[in-house]
Structure 1
Protein backbone atom coordinates (compact mmCIF):
# COMPACT_ATOMS: atom_id res chain seq x y z
CA UNK A 1 0.00 0.00 0.00
CA UNK A 2 1.43 3.39 -1.00
CA UNK A 3 0.60 6.50 0.99
CA UNK A 4 0.47 10.20 0.15
CA UNK A 5 -0.13 13.03 2.58
CA UNK A 6 -0.42 16.79 2.60
CA UNK A 7 2.16 19.16 4.08
CA UNK A 8 0.25 19.78 7.33
CA UNK A 9 -0.65 16.10 7.82
CA UNK A 10 -4.41 16.69 7.98
CA UNK A 11 -5.06 14.41 4.97
CA UNK A 12 -3.67 10.99 4.12
CA UNK A 13 -4.62 8.74 1.19
CA UNK A 14 -3.55 5.20 0.33
CA UNK A 15 -3.66 3.23 -2.92
CA UNK A 16 -2.07 0.05 -4.20
CA UNK A 17 -0.69 -1.43 -7.38
CA UNK A 18 2.02 -0.43 -9.79
CA UNK A 19 1.92 2.96 -11.50
CA UNK A 20 0.42 2.62 -14.99
CA UNK A 21 2.47 5.53 -16.33
CA UNK A 22 5.00 8.00 -14.93
CA UNK A 23 4.92 11.44 -16.52
CA UNK A 24 6.08 15.03 -16.36
CA UNK A 25 3.42 17.60 -17.26
CA UNK A 26 4.29 21.03 -18.67
CA UNK A 27 0.67 22.21 -19.04
CA UNK A 28 -0.11 25.87 -18.40
CA UNK A 29 -1.78 24.98 -15.06
CA UNK A 30 1.37 23.68 -13.40
CA UNK A 31 3.10 26.94 -12.38
CA UNK A 32 -0.05 28.05 -10.57
CA UNK A 33 -0.69 24.61 -9.06
CA UNK A 34 2.87 24.27 -7.72
CA UNK A 35 3.50 27.93 -6.99
CA UNK A 36 6.99 27.50 -8.39
CA UNK A 37 7.89 24.87 -10.96
CA UNK A 38 6.80 25.13 -14.60
CA UNK A 39 6.00 21.39 -14.56
CA UNK A 40 4.77 18.61 -12.27
CA UNK A 41 5.73 14.98 -11.74
CA UNK A 42 2.90 12.46 -11.60
CA UNK A 43 2.00 8.84 -11.99
CA UNK A 44 -1.27 7.31 -13.14
CA UNK A 45 -3.05 4.85 -10.85
CA UNK A 46 -6.48 3.26 -10.82
CA UNK A 47 -8.91 4.85 -8.38
CA UNK A 48 -10.17 1.36 -7.44
CA UNK A 49 -7.94 1.07 -4.37
CA UNK A 50 -7.99 4.75 -3.32
CA UNK A 51 -8.85 5.28 0.33
CA UNK A 52 -8.90 8.52 2.29
CA UNK A 53 -7.58 7.25 5.62
CA UNK A 54 -7.34 10.62 7.35
CA UNK A 55 -9.10 13.93 6.83
CA UNK A 56 -11.46 15.14 4.16
CA UNK A 57 -10.07 16.36 0.87
CA UNK A 58 -11.39 19.49 -0.75
CA UNK A 59 -12.26 19.02 -4.43
CA UNK A 60 -12.48 21.75 -7.02
CA UNK A 61 -12.16 21.75 -10.77
CA UNK A 62 -12.57 23.31 -14.18
CA UNK A 63 -12.78 22.49 -17.88
CA UNK A 64 -9.32 22.07 -19.45
CA UNK A 65 -8.09 22.58 -23.02
CA UNK A 66 -9.28 19.11 -24.13
CA UNK A 67 -12.84 19.89 -23.01
CA UNK A 68 -12.59 17.42 -20.12
CA UNK A 69 -13.40 18.40 -16.55
CA UNK A 70 -10.29 18.23 -14.32
CA UNK A 71 -10.89 17.73 -10.60
CA UNK A 72 -8.21 18.64 -8.07
CA UNK A 73 -8.17 16.80 -4.73
CA UNK A 74 -6.32 18.77 -2.09
CA UNK A 75 -6.06 19.60 1.58
CA UNK A 76 -8.49 22.30 2.65
CA UNK A 77 -6.02 23.44 5.32
CA UNK A 78 -2.58 23.69 3.70
CA UNK A 79 -3.63 23.43 0.04
CA UNK A 80 -1.36 20.50 -0.91
CA UNK A 81 -2.60 18.90 -4.15
CA UNK A 82 -2.54 15.13 -3.65
CA UNK A 83 -4.05 13.99 -6.95
CA UNK A 84 -6.12 14.97 -9.98
CA UNK A 85 -8.87 13.16 -11.89
CA UNK A 86 -10.29 13.89 -15.34
CA UNK A 87 -13.50 12.97 -17.12
CA UNK A 88 -11.22 12.05 -20.03
CA UNK A 89 -9.66 9.22 -18.00
CA UNK A 90 -12.46 7.69 -15.90
CA UNK A 91 -11.29 5.43 -13.08
CA UNK A 92 -7.77 6.89 -13.15
CA UNK A 93 -5.96 9.44 -11.00
CA UNK A 94 -2.72 11.36 -11.41
CA UNK A 95 -0.87 11.14 -8.10
CA UNK A 96 1.44 14.08 -7.39
CA UNK A 97 4.87 12.62 -6.63
CA UNK A 98 5.70 15.45 -4.21
CA UNK A 99 3.04 14.21 -1.77
CA UNK A 100 4.12 10.54 -1.81
CA UNK A 101 5.48 9.54 1.59
CA UNK A 102 7.82 6.77 0.36
CA UNK A 103 11.16 8.56 -0.07
CA UNK A 104 12.66 5.69 -2.08
CA UNK A 105 9.78 5.82 -4.58
CA UNK A 106 10.20 9.59 -4.92
CA UNK A 107 13.99 9.36 -5.40
CA UNK A 108 13.72 6.61 -8.01
CA UNK A 109 10.93 8.32 -9.99
CA UNK A 110 11.81 8.79 -13.68
CA UNK A 111 9.06 9.93 -16.09
CA UNK A 112 8.38 7.78 -19.16
CA UNK A 113 6.39 10.49 -20.95
CA UNK A 114 6.38 14.29 -21.03
CA UNK A 115 3.16 16.07 -22.01
CA UNK A 116 2.48 19.64 -23.16
CA UNK A 117 6.14 20.03 -24.13
CA UNK A 118 5.15 23.08 -26.18
CA UNK A 119 5.05 24.90 -22.81
CA UNK A 120 8.40 23.57 -21.56
CA UNK A 121 10.55 26.31 -20.00
CA UNK A 122 13.70 26.94 -22.03
CA UNK A 123 15.93 25.95 -19.11
CA UNK A 124 14.22 22.56 -18.56
CA UNK A 125 15.83 19.83 -20.69
CA UNK A 126 13.84 16.92 -22.14
CA UNK A 127 14.11 13.71 -20.16
CA UNK A 128 16.34 11.32 -22.10
CA UNK A 129 14.33 8.32 -23.30
CA UNK A 130 10.93 9.79 -22.38
CA UNK A 131 8.23 10.09 -25.06
CA UNK A 132 7.75 13.78 -25.90
CA UNK A 133 4.15 14.89 -26.52
CA UNK A 134 3.50 18.37 -27.87
CA UNK A 135 0.06 18.34 -26.21
CA UNK A 136 -1.77 15.73 -24.14
CA UNK A 137 -1.13 11.97 -24.07
CA UNK A 138 -0.69 10.32 -27.46
CA UNK A 139 -0.59 13.53 -29.48
CA UNK A 140 2.99 13.07 -30.63
CA UNK A 141 5.38 15.63 -31.95
CA UNK A 142 5.35 19.35 -32.47
CA UNK A 143 3.28 19.95 -35.64
CA UNK A 144 5.89 22.45 -36.88
CA UNK A 145 8.60 19.79 -36.58
CA UNK A 146 6.56 17.50 -38.84
CA UNK A 147 6.38 20.04 -41.68
CA UNK A 148 8.47 19.06 -44.69
CA UNK A 149 8.60 15.37 -43.79
CA UNK A 150 7.42 12.82 -46.34
Structure 2
Protein backbone atom coordinates (compact mmCIF):
# COMPACT_ATOMS: atom_id res chain seq x y z
CA UNK A 1 0.00 0.00 0.00
CA UNK A 2 1.23 3.50 -0.81
CA UNK A 3 0.59 6.72 1.11
CA UNK A 4 0.16 9.76 -1.10
CA UNK A 5 -0.86 13.35 -0.39
CA UNK A 6 -2.15 16.19 -2.52
CA UNK A 7 -2.77 19.85 -1.77
CA UNK A 8 -4.11 23.05 -3.20
CA UNK A 9 -1.82 25.83 -4.39
CA UNK A 10 -1.67 27.64 -1.02
CA UNK A 11 -1.45 24.42 1.05
CA UNK A 12 -4.52 25.13 3.20
CA UNK A 13 -6.45 22.14 1.79
CA UNK A 14 -4.80 18.71 1.86
CA UNK A 15 -5.93 15.14 1.30
CA UNK A 16 -4.23 11.75 1.55
CA UNK A 17 -5.03 8.21 0.41
CA UNK A 18 -3.51 4.77 0.87
CA UNK A 19 -3.95 2.99 -2.46
CA UNK A 20 -2.68 2.98 -6.01
CA UNK A 21 -4.89 4.65 -8.63
CA UNK A 22 -7.30 2.32 -10.43
CA UNK A 23 -6.30 4.00 -13.70
CA UNK A 24 -5.04 7.28 -15.17
CA UNK A 25 -7.32 9.33 -17.37
CA UNK A 26 -7.28 12.51 -19.38
CA UNK A 27 -10.57 14.38 -19.60
CA UNK A 28 -11.29 16.65 -22.57
CA UNK A 29 -14.77 17.76 -21.43
CA UNK A 30 -15.63 21.38 -22.09
CA UNK A 31 -15.82 22.01 -18.34
CA UNK A 32 -12.03 21.64 -18.21
CA UNK A 33 -11.74 24.84 -20.28
CA UNK A 34 -13.20 26.67 -17.29
CA UNK A 35 -11.88 24.54 -14.42
CA UNK A 36 -8.27 24.22 -15.50
CA UNK A 37 -7.90 27.08 -17.95
CA UNK A 38 -7.09 24.66 -20.76
CA UNK A 39 -8.79 22.00 -22.86
CA UNK A 40 -7.97 18.92 -20.79
CA UNK A 41 -7.06 17.65 -17.34
CA UNK A 42 -4.85 14.75 -16.23
CA UNK A 43 -6.36 12.71 -13.40
CA UNK A 44 -5.84 9.66 -11.23
CA UNK A 45 -9.00 7.68 -10.65
CA UNK A 46 -9.07 6.18 -7.17
CA UNK A 47 -12.03 3.85 -6.77
CA UNK A 48 -12.20 3.47 -3.01
CA UNK A 49 -13.39 6.85 -1.76
CA UNK A 50 -14.85 6.06 1.65
CA UNK A 51 -12.13 3.72 2.94
CA UNK A 52 -9.21 5.58 1.38
CA UNK A 53 -9.67 9.36 1.19
CA UNK A 54 -8.71 11.37 4.25
CA UNK A 55 -9.27 15.13 4.37
CA UNK A 56 -6.32 16.49 6.36
CA UNK A 57 -7.38 20.15 6.51
CA UNK A 58 -10.94 21.44 6.88
CA UNK A 59 -10.52 24.27 4.34
CA UNK A 60 -12.29 22.45 1.50
CA UNK A 61 -15.49 23.77 0.00
CA UNK A 62 -17.52 22.13 -2.74
CA UNK A 63 -20.15 22.75 -5.36
CA UNK A 64 -22.14 20.35 -7.51
CA UNK A 65 -23.40 20.56 -11.07
CA UNK A 66 -25.00 18.27 -13.64
CA UNK A 67 -22.32 17.54 -16.28
CA UNK A 68 -22.43 16.44 -19.95
CA UNK A 69 -22.94 12.78 -18.98
CA UNK A 70 -26.01 13.66 -16.89
CA UNK A 71 -24.18 12.73 -13.67
CA UNK A 72 -23.89 15.09 -10.72
CA UNK A 73 -20.23 16.11 -10.40
CA UNK A 74 -19.05 17.58 -7.10
CA UNK A 75 -15.93 19.75 -7.22
CA UNK A 76 -13.83 19.84 -4.04
CA UNK A 77 -11.67 22.96 -3.89
CA UNK A 78 -9.74 25.06 -1.42
CA UNK A 79 -11.81 27.69 0.35
CA UNK A 80 -8.73 29.93 0.57
CA UNK A 81 -7.07 29.89 -2.88
CA UNK A 82 -9.82 28.23 -4.97
CA UNK A 83 -7.64 25.41 -6.37
CA UNK A 84 -9.67 22.41 -7.55
CA UNK A 85 -8.11 19.32 -5.96
CA UNK A 86 -10.52 16.46 -6.68
CA UNK A 87 -13.96 15.61 -8.05
CA UNK A 88 -16.60 13.00 -7.18
CA UNK A 89 -19.46 11.83 -9.40
CA UNK A 90 -22.87 10.26 -8.91
CA UNK A 91 -22.06 8.08 -11.95
CA UNK A 92 -19.27 6.02 -10.39
CA UNK A 93 -17.61 5.38 -7.02
CA UNK A 94 -14.35 6.91 -5.89
CA UNK A 95 -12.76 10.19 -6.82
CA UNK A 96 -10.81 11.83 -9.63
CA UNK A 97 -7.70 13.56 -8.38
CA UNK A 98 -6.12 16.37 -10.38
CA UNK A 99 -2.60 14.97 -10.85
CA UNK A 100 -0.87 18.35 -10.67
CA UNK A 101 -1.90 18.66 -7.00
CA UNK A 102 0.13 15.66 -5.85
CA UNK A 103 2.95 16.71 -3.53
CA UNK A 104 5.57 15.22 -5.84
CA UNK A 105 3.85 16.37 -9.04
CA UNK A 106 7.17 16.97 -10.83
CA UNK A 107 7.93 13.25 -10.64
CA UNK A 108 4.30 12.29 -11.31
CA UNK A 109 4.06 14.52 -14.38
CA UNK A 110 7.19 12.91 -15.85
CA UNK A 111 5.82 9.39 -15.33
CA UNK A 112 2.10 10.00 -15.94
CA UNK A 113 0.55 8.38 -19.02
CA UNK A 114 -3.24 8.21 -19.43
CA UNK A 115 -4.84 4.77 -19.73
CA UNK A 116 -8.07 6.38 -20.93
CA UNK A 117 -9.11 9.60 -22.67
CA UNK A 118 -12.74 10.68 -22.19
CA UNK A 119 -14.85 13.29 -23.98
CA UNK A 120 -12.54 13.03 -26.99
CA UNK A 121 -15.30 14.68 -29.07
CA UNK A 122 -14.16 17.91 -27.37
CA UNK A 123 -10.41 17.27 -27.76
CA UNK A 124 -8.52 20.16 -29.39
CA UNK A 125 -7.93 19.28 -33.06
CA UNK A 126 -4.18 19.87 -32.73
CA UNK A 127 -3.90 17.34 -29.88
CA UNK A 128 -3.11 13.75 -30.86
CA UNK A 129 -4.70 10.78 -29.04
CA UNK A 130 -2.45 9.14 -26.47
CA UNK A 131 -1.07 6.00 -28.09
CA UNK A 132 -2.46 2.86 -26.44
CA UNK A 133 -5.07 4.74 -24.34
CA UNK A 134 -8.73 3.72 -24.55
CA UNK A 135 -10.62 6.48 -26.38
CA UNK A 136 -14.18 7.47 -25.43
CA UNK A 137 -16.17 10.24 -27.13
CA UNK A 138 -18.16 10.79 -23.94
CA UNK A 139 -17.83 9.81 -20.29
CA UNK A 140 -16.62 6.38 -19.18
CA UNK A 141 -18.59 3.68 -21.01
CA UNK A 142 -20.55 1.05 -19.09
CA UNK A 143 -18.20 -1.59 -20.51
CA UNK A 144 -15.17 0.32 -19.29
CA UNK A 145 -16.60 0.83 -15.81
CA UNK A 146 -17.60 -2.87 -15.62
CA UNK A 147 -13.96 -3.79 -16.16
CA UNK A 148 -13.02 -1.91 -12.98
CA UNK A 149 -16.16 -2.13 -10.87
CA UNK A 150 -17.83 -5.38 -11.95
TM-score tier, shorter chain, comes to: 0.7 to 0.9
Per-residue CA distance 1:95-138 (angstroms, 9 max, x = gap): 00011112323321100110000000012111111111111112
1:23-102 to 2 correspondences below 5 Å: 23-35=25-37, 37-45=38-46, 46-47=48-49, 48-90=51-93, 92-102=94-104
Partner of 1:107: 110
Structure 2 runs not aligned, ≥5 long? 144-150
TM-score relative to the length of structure 2: 0.87
**Structure 1 segments unaligned to the other structure (5+ residues):** 141-150
Distance 1:50 1:56 in 2: 15
Counterpart Cα distance in 1 of 2:12 and 2:58: 6
3-state secondary structure, aligned to 1:114: strand
Instruction: State the secondary structure of the residue aligned to 2:56.
Output: strand
SS of residue in 2 equivalent to 1:22: strand
Name the counterpart of 1:14. 16
Moved runs in structure 1, 4+ residues, more than 4 A?
Answer: none
More helix by share: 2
C-alpha distance in 2 between matches for 1:25 and 1:32:
13
Q: CA RMSD in A?
A: 1.4
Q: TM-score, normalised by structure 1?
A: 0.87
Shift of 1:68: 1.3
Instruction: Tell me the distance in 1 between the aligned counterparts of 2:92 and 2:108.
Output: 24
